[in-house]
Amino acid sequence: MADILVVAELAEGKVKKATLSAITFAKQCQPALGGGFSVLLIGAGAKAAAAEVAGYGAAQILVCDDASLANYVAEQYAPTVAEAARGFGLVVATATSFGKDLLPRVAARLDAAFAGDCSGVSGASGKLVFKRPMYAGNAFGYATLSTAIQCATARQSEFAPAEPSGGSSPVKELAKVAPGAAASRVEFVSLEQVKSERPELTEAGVVVAGGRALKGRFSEVMEPFAEAFGAALGASRAACDAGYAPGDYQVGQTGKIVAPSLYIAIGISGAIQHVAGMKGSKTIVAINKDAEAPIFQIADYGLVADLFQAVPELTAAVKAHKAAG
């Protein structure tokens, strides 16, 4: 029997929704391991945030609230997380930038084997089998880890956010573990965040994404379209690399992985590296002037049209439909 530690992600003193996917992942690992799970909150303001995750069935909420942890720096966080993980059989987080950065360092400190970006998990009798996408999602690898403590991150789009199960988990405070020499060589300078009224790309129910075809008119065409749908904005790497869209809009193998209810690809060819980041979407719509574009092979609905004509027309039609109630 082994217990699981879920490492929560905080932003401005609040638990990020991504944490709830890690809780779902932990719950799916539980039957094979036979133990319970706990949640670790680390950062400035972590104590106040504990109430946000107290109703999900955790055996306990471990809290390390320290002013020196106000800004995330892996070298500052990893020693405390590794210390908190002792006694657990599995340490998990969601494979966000935070989880991808932190958990391998924690694994190294614990001498633990690591399975990153898992899209599924199965197993029995204490042995977990982690499913991991490979080759831009064109193949899956199945990994078992043989160290006493294991570490894994979960792909957010594959694990629905956990629902509260009631109750109130007890809170236990932990002291920060002094970071090693590596931390003295890393200094937090600043965090440049894109503030937007639109939903977060990885959490939105509707994503509209634009490609290279939009050229310098990305904002002019895509922003009113996204607004009409109440959607998050995404982009292909070609559009980001060309400077038409900000880098944090990028969807795909080397960008964000999304799985909204509706994904509308505008002037995107459908290269495998882009598709790797959005093929989990429930309904895919593509607008492209080339009827042979590969994106139509995975689209549920396709429109062969010039985007500069079709998108403003659709934007106006959606707005008119909304106005008519």
Ligand X SMILES: Cc1cc2nc3c(=O)[nH]c(=O)nc-3n(C[C@H](O)[C@H](O)[C@H](O)COP(=O)(O)OP(=O)(O)OC[C@H]3O[C@@H](n4cnc5c(N)ncnc54)[C@H](O)[C@@H]3O)c2cc1C
Of 105 and 212, the one with the shorter C-beta distance to ligand X is 212
Structure tokens at 242: 């060309």
CB of 200 to ligand X, least distance (A): 18
Of 180 and 247, the one with the shorter C-beta distance to ligand X is 247
E strand or H helix at 308, and its extent?
helix 307-323
Supply angle C-alpha 64, 68, 73, rounded to 5. 90
- Cα separation, 155 vs 158, in Å, equals 6
Of 105 and 237, the one with the shorter C-beta distance to ligand X is 237
Residues that bind ligand X (CB under 6 A): 211-213, 236-239, 250-255, 267-269, 271, 273-274, 277, 288-290, 293, 306-308
DSSP 230-242: TPEEEE-HHHHHT
Residue nearest to ligand X (CB): 252
CB of 105 to ligand X, least distance (A): 24
CB of 17 to ligand X, least distance (A): 22
Of 7 and 299, the one with the shorter C-beta distance to ligand X is 299
- Are the beta carbons of 84 and 46 closer than 8 angstroms? no
CB of 141 to ligand X, least distance (A): 18
CB of 251 to ligand X, least distance (A): 6
Of 99 and 234, the one with the shorter C-beta distance to ligand X is 234
Q: Residue 167 contacts by C-beta under 8 Å, 6 or more apart in sequence?
A: 54, 55, 57
Of 97 and 168, the one with the shorter C-beta distance to ligand X is 97
CB of 258 to ligand X, least distance (A): 11
Q: Cα–chain-centroid distance for residue 26?
A: 15
Say if residue 143 is exposed, middle or buried (CB neighbours under 10 Å; 0-12, 13-18, 19+): middle
What distances in angstroms separate CA 109 from CA 78, 83, 101, one per listed residue? 8, 9, 14
- Are the beta carbons of 233 and 268 closer than 8 angstroms? no
CB of 20 to ligand X, least distance (A): 25
Of 112 and 245, the one with the shorter C-beta distance to ligand X is 245
- Are the beta carbons of 186 and 75 closer than 8 angstroms? yes
